[in-house]
Amino acid sequence: MLRYTLRRLSFLPIILLAVSIITFVLLRVLPTEDFADVIGGSNATPEQKDAIRDKYGLRDPVFPVTVSGECERVVWYVPKCSLDGPVLALHPHSQYGSWLIHALRGDFGTTFNNNADVRHEFIRRFPASFELVFLSLGFSVVFGISFGILSAMYRNSPIDYGVRIFAVLGTSIPEFFLLTLLIVIPSYLWNYAQPSGGYIPVYDDPMHNLRLFLPPALIVGIAGSSGLMRLVRTTMLEVLRSDYVRTARAKGLRGRTVILSHALRNASTPILTAIGTAFIAVFGGSLVAERILSIQGNGLFFFTSTLSRDLPVIQFLAVYTAAVVVIVNLVVDLSYAWADPRVTYS
């Protein structure tokens, strides 16, 4: 188990390295415009632009290794290169190289926008996103599993029909529509304004914190639970038909024991997978919630940086998202063994 965990964790740096290289290609090689214009604004003087290029090292090659040699295209997809001299050129100063060296020390550069430390900005916004994501995930899991079980237990009953209708609606109605209604409807009907913006930690003002986070988390969580609900229903229907459930009933065990410790435990593997998927869905959904309610979290940070093409922020958040995705998948895989003793990793 420990060896398996360590082996899986050893892949993490490789994946993060790959993601950082891909984002560098995407963000620095492919775009055609001059980033000095983006940073300096349209009315920057040539001297100011030069200063910006020096400061952010925009004159350096993007990658430390480049392929040199003259190339011409024979057909449009076949380049023919003359290989005189060294083919690979090494550059001591490159944009990716200096980013990587600093990143390994935990320094992710400064934002293009206002020269703030990226890591510091990220940490400042982290609690808001964290609270939103985990509240939503909590609602998603509680709601999805409980109603999924109920729907399977009382098949073809009104509860079952309700759950099935809800599951289709949940995948069809966009989150941004529900979240906009959250602002619009209470204000129109009851003159109640859903608070937005600002983050107040739960230990400073629990009531305000709750008013800010509970409604969007309920919407993101419950809307995101439809996939989980469907899956719990199907797997439970299969498990409830099995012989060991009938045996457990025949032994005279209580219904609750049969459902929770015999049936649910055996259905745990696909359900845990679906919880991992729900986490990723909620992680994305919280971005929309942060944008609509202007909650100062990392989703909104990502969004505003995208608009202003703030490359250092996007690079960091891309690597961070990859790390979150990899770690969530690892945790899900490890939890199989915890929930189902038959699963072993060796």
Partner 1 sequence: MATIVERDRQLAPMDSWEIPRSKPWYQKLARLAADNPVGAVSFVIVVLFAVVGVFGASIAPYNPKELDASSQYLGPSSVHLFGTDKFGHDVFSRVLTGAQIDLKFGVIVMLFGFVPGVVLGVISGYARGWVDYVIQRSAEAWTAFPPLFLLLTFVSAFGPGLKTVEMVVAIGALFSGSRLLRAVALIEKQKEYVISARSTGATETRLLLRHVVPNIMPFILVGFSSVFAVAVLLEATLSFLGLGVAPGTPSWGADLAFNADNQGTKYPFLVLFPGLAISLVVLAFNLLGDTLRDVLDPRLRGSTGARK
Q: How far apart are CA 154 and CA 144, in angstroms?
A: 15
**Tokens in use for 142?**
């509680």
- Contact indicator for 271, 320 with CB cutoff of 8 Å: no
Nearer to partner 1 by Cβ, of 63 and 253: the residue is 63
CA angle 29, 32, 36 (to 5 degrees): 90
Nearer to partner 1 by Cβ, of 163 and 209: the residue is 163
Binding of residue 283 to partner 1 (CB under 8 A): yes
* Closest approach of partner 1 to the CB of residue 20, in Å: 12
* Closest approach of partner 1 to the CB of residue 52, in Å: 18
Task: Write the binding mask 287 to 316 for partner 1: x where contact by CB under 8 A, - elsewhere.
Answer: xx--x----------xx-xxx-x-x--x--
Among 7, 13, 17, 31, binds partner 1 (CB under 8 A): 31
Which residues, including other chains, have CB under 8 Å from residue 62's CB and lie 6 or more apart?
24, 25, 28, 29, 94, 95, 96
Q: How far apart are CA 122 and CA 284, in angstroms?
A: 17
Strands 78-82 and 88-90: unpaired
Binding of residue 327 to partner 1 (CB under 8 A): no
* Closest approach of partner 1 to the CB of residue 86, in Å: 30
Among 48, 196, 242, 321, binds partner 1 (CB under 8 A): 321
Which residues, including other chains, have CB under 8 Å from residue 260's CB and lie 6 or more apart?
none
Q: Taking every pair of C-alpha atoms in the chain, what is the biggest distance, in angstroms?
A: 85
Contacting positions for partner 1 (CB under 8 A):
23, 26-27, 30-31, 164, 167-169, 171-177, 180-181, 183-185, 187-188, 230-231, 233-234, 237, 280-281, 283-284, 287-288, 291, 302-303, 305-307, 309, 311, 314, 317-318, 321-322, 325, 329
